[in-house]
Amino acid sequence: MNGQRVSTVNAYTAHREWARRPPDERYASVQQLFDAACARRSRTEERITETVKLHVRAEDSDTLVLDERVGDGDSSDLTHWSFEQLAGIASAPPNYLRTLPATIAADAINFGLQRCHRGEQQLYADATDPWTLHAITSPRYARVHHDELAGRVLRLMDAHPSWHLPLGYKDGVFGAERVPSGAYLGDRDMFLFLVDGNRDLDDPTDASHAGLFRGFMLRNSDVGAAALTLDVFLFRAVCGNHIIWGFRHIASLRRRHVGASIHEAWTTSLDAVSTMLDATLADDRAILLRATTQELGPSREKVLETAMQRLDLSQKQASEAYGLAEQHEPNPRTVWGYVQGLTRLSQRTPWQDARFALDRAASRLLTTVQ
């Protein structure tokens, strides 16, 4: 896991998925999502074609289709996402193209395709009638299919039945019936949110002794909309709207869909994460105990010096994180105490890039506990 960029999940990531997904992208179980992903994969085809063979035409005043044949099909319909990809290849702004009559938009895209420097494109299409083009990517794009990942999760759940989807208000409606939620599959990506809420471990710094539980989030796109990411975290509770209380990011993997090595890399990484997810509570307690007792330095000045050297923080960031840890933690000099300070500082930071850097620093610090 070392050297990989920390993902940008936080206590509200699962909530945003719960709130925005339409009913047809929600699944009551990982098994149902897996079955849907298998069915989708069975009816899709991939092929490489030359860019010069791509041609767009207006089917009516509002609709564009791609005339390039895919397999035995005729013209291919475009999804919202594949239209954006095609416009990007043609160096044309998709939002502006959508305001134009279809004939003018088609001319603009075809002109841009003629000037494109990439010689080939990888097409990913639904082979049912009518043919629908889901993605247009570089030939270097390495697709990881949703059913492969969901199948790995199912095997984890079979081996350790305590892992499950948390309950959430049905269809993203606050106050509705609570049902297993957190399995989403759309035309752009897959998202899974699972928790191990039956096994808790003590947080020595928590006076309420509520306990910490383990969870993970897995995201993947097979059309080029997102990288493959998996994030492991600890938490205290999950609300019906999937806001996570006491969120503590532990580790993550992130792989771009480029090059054949991604398949070996994500398999190796998921094996490592699976081992982490399956670790005994005794191991977790030992790690947590070391984090709450190991100090970064004997004084505020030494802690700040260590943080700036090891985590590439500015003096202002290091100082503000220490100040927040001092307000809320029994010992701000410990790894655990300072990580909480970094997390609180991230939550107060308005700029996304700065939040990512702070989250990355917190995760790196926590995963290097000896």
Is 321 within 8 Å of 345 (Cβ atoms)?
Answer: yes
Q: Is residue 22 part of a domain?
A: yes
Instruction: Give residue 231's Cα distance to chain centre.
Output: 8
- Residue 84: per-residue pLDDT: 94
Q: Is residue 332 part of a domain?
A: yes
- Residue 248: per-residue pLDDT: 77
Q: Are residues 168 and 22 in the same domain?
A: yes
| Residue 173, CA atoms < 13 Å, CB-side half-sphere | 7
Q: Is residue 137 part of a domain?
A: no
- Residue 70: per-residue pLDDT: 46
- Residue 64: per-residue pLDDT: 92
Please say which residue of 67, 99, 127 terminates a domain.
127
Is the previous residue joined to 130 through a cis bond, with omega within 30 degrees of 0? yes
CA distance 322 to 38: 49
Q: Are residues 25 and 150 in the same domain?
A: yes
Q: Are residues 74 and 182 in the same domain?
A: no
- Please name the residues in contact with 283: beta carbons below 8 A apart, sequence gap of 6 or more: none
Per the structure block, which two tokens stand in for 74? 């005729």
Q: Are residues 163 and 240 in the same domain?
A: yes
Q: Are residues 166 and 21 in the same domain?
A: yes
Q: Is residue 179 part of a domain?
A: yes
Q: Are residues 36 and 49 in the same domain?
A: no
The residue type found at 236 is: R
Nearest in space to 124 (alpha carbons), one of 44, 190, 228, 189? 44
CA distance 312 to 325: 18
The residue type found at 10 is: N
Q: Is residue 133 part of a domain?
A: no
Pairing of strands 190-201, 183-185: antiparallel
- Residue 283: per-residue pLDDT: 61
Q: Are residues 123 and 102 in the same domain?
A: yes
Pairing of strands 190-201, 64-66: unpaired
Please say which residue of 279, 304, 335 terminates a domain.
279
- Residue 351: per-residue pLDDT: 72
Beta bridge partners of 45: 125
- Residue 332: per-residue pLDDT: 92
Q: What is the pTM of this model?
A: 0.73
- Residue 199: per-residue pLDDT: 59
Helix (H), strand (E), coil (C) string for 210-226: CCEEEEEEEEECCCCCC
Please say which residue of 228, 245, 279 terminates a domain.
279
Q: Are residues 32 and 181 in the same domain?
A: yes
Q: Is residue 75 part of a domain?
A: yes
Nearest in space to 367 (alpha carbons), one of 255, 283, 249? 249
Per the structure block, which two tokens stand in for 337? 């105490």
How many domains does the chain fold into? 3
Q: Are residues 34 and 56 in the same domain?
A: no
Q: How many CB atoms sit inside 10 A of residue 69's CB?
A: 14
**What is the span of the domain harbouring residue 257?**
13-40+143-279
Residue appearing with tokens 């796109």: 221
Q: Are residues 201 and 305 in the same domain?
A: no
Q: Collapsing DSSP states into helix, strand and coil, what is residue 141? A: strand
Q: Is residue 79 part of a domain?
A: yes
Per the structure block, which two tokens stand in for 21? 């997904």
Is 80 within 8 Å of 98 (Cβ atoms)?
Answer: no
- Residue 4: per-residue pLDDT: 36
Sign, CA torsion 180/146/10/281: positive
Nearest in space to 3 (alpha carbons), one of 275, 360, 260? 360
Per-residue pLDDT of the chain (370 residues; tens, 9 = 90+): 333 333 468 888 999 999 999 999 999 999 999 999 999 999 999 889 888 889 999 988 788 999 875 444 468 899 999 999 999 999 999 999 999 999 999 999 999 999 888 889 999 998 886 789 999 998 888 888 999 999 989 998 998 888 999 999 999 999 999 999 999 999 999 999 999 876 556 555 555 556 778 899 999 999 999 888 888 888 888 999 999 987 877 777 777 777 655 666 666 666 666 666 666 556 666 667 777 888 999 999 999 999 999 888 999 999 999 999 999 888 999 988 898 888 788 778 777 567 767 877 877 787 676 5
CA distance 365 to 31: 36
Q: Is residue 197 part of a domain?
A: yes
Q: Are residues 229 and 362 in the same domain?
A: no
Residue appearing with tokens 């509705």: 176
Q: Are residues 183 and 305 in the same domain?
A: no
Per the structure block, which two tokens stand in for 247? 């969120």
- Residue 7: per-residue pLDDT: 46
